[in-house]
Amino acid sequence: MLRHNYHTHTYRCGHAEGNDEEYVVEAIAQGILELGFTDHIMLPNFSQKNIRGDYELEEGYLRSINALKEKYKNRIKIRIGYEAEAFEQYFDHYKMLLDSKKVEYLILGNHCYLNDKKEVKFFFSQITTKQDILDYGKYCVNGMKSGLFKYVAHPDYYMGSYLKWDRTCEKVAKDICKVARKMNMPLEFNFGAIRRGKRQIGDEYRFAYPYKRFWEIAKKYKVKIILGLDAHAPKDISTDKNDYGYRLVKEWGLDVLDEMEI
């Protein structure tokens, strides 16, 4: 069972629920020793309703999580960070957050990318072509090479809508795993889509991710693997909500890290 979860959201993103303390209380009840909050990053002069909170919410986020760190310091270790995309236009902002120690870490959640006008160009949850997959891989690798991120969240996210594993999927998996191995960067086996259940995608009835063929490649490259609950509600931390995910980890023979150094 997982004792360290570094992927937890809050209501501020617009698609999560529960107050911050409820996540902490549930984590303690489940025997979690370390809980990392990584809400979708709030960015200056940028808005995505129901995807990330507006920048004005950042101060309250930092204040709330830091207060919980102090309140529960004798019962659980709490970390504060963000899940962020490989938005190169904001890399200086990311660096400022880390250098100033406003946050302790960032995880790379490659959901979409921006054009030169800081407009969302494409959501990778809508991938349908080989070029879409190659673009996903390019931005993911660029983010990894930036040195700003602690690990890659749901690296197989690109399989969420693509109908069939092919050579392009395999190439991108290998590209990601090669860089992860070179940079000693963990890849996250994500439980979020498992909790949402299987659905028909092409000829397969499966989870959007994790996708087994990707993780077979990750095993061959001997990359580090971390588990992430990707909690969007306090109940998502509950063990019985994640039993199937733990079972897959065992069935697929994945050797996972117990914790990360932050």
- Helices and strands (H and E) in the chain: how many: 8, 11
Of 26 and 240, the one with more pLDDT: 26
Query: Coil, helix or strand for 219?
Result: helix
- What is the average pLDDT value for the chain, to the nearest integer? 96
**Strands, E assignment, the chain:** 4-5, 34-40, 77-84, 105-108, 112-114, 120-123, 151-152, 187-190, 199-201, 204-206, 225-228
- Its domain, for residue 31, covers 4-251
pLDDT digits (tens, 9 = 90+) for 217-239: 999 999 999 999 999 999 999 98
Domain count for the chain: 1
Whether 47 is in a domain gets the answer yes
CATH number at residue 239: 3.20.20.140
pLDDT digits (tens, 9 = 90+) for 149-206: 999 999 999 999 999 999 999 999 999 999 999 999 999 999 999 999 999 999 999 9
Whether 260 is in a domain gets the answer no
Whether 217 is in a domain gets the answer yes
Distances (CA, A) of 108 to 86, 91, 96, 129, 229: 7, 12, 16, 22, 15
Handedness of CA 116, 119, 122, 123 (dihedral sign): positive
pLDDT at 241: 84
Query: Could you tell me which of 141, 53, 75, 69 has the C-alpha nearest to residue 101?
Result: 69
What are the φ/ψ torsions at residue 18 (nearest 5 degrees)? 90, 155
Whether 101 is in a domain gets the answer yes
pLDDT at 119: 84
In this structure, which amino acid lies at residue 177?
C
pLDDT digits (tens, 9 = 90+) for 61-82: 999 999 999 999 999 999 999 9
* Alpha carbon distance 101, 97 (integer Å): 6
Burial class (CB in 10 A: 0-12, 13-18, 19+), 95: middle
pLDDT at 194: 96
Residues paired with residue 77 on neighbouring β-strands, in sequence order = 34
**pTM for the full predicted model:** 0.96
Whether 259 is in a domain gets the answer no
Whether 86 is in a domain gets the answer yes
Whether 257 is in a domain gets the answer no
In this structure, which amino acid lies at residue 25?
V
Whether 231 is in a domain gets the answer yes
Query: Could you tell me which of 183, 212, 154, 210 has the C-alpha nearest to residue 38?
Result: 154
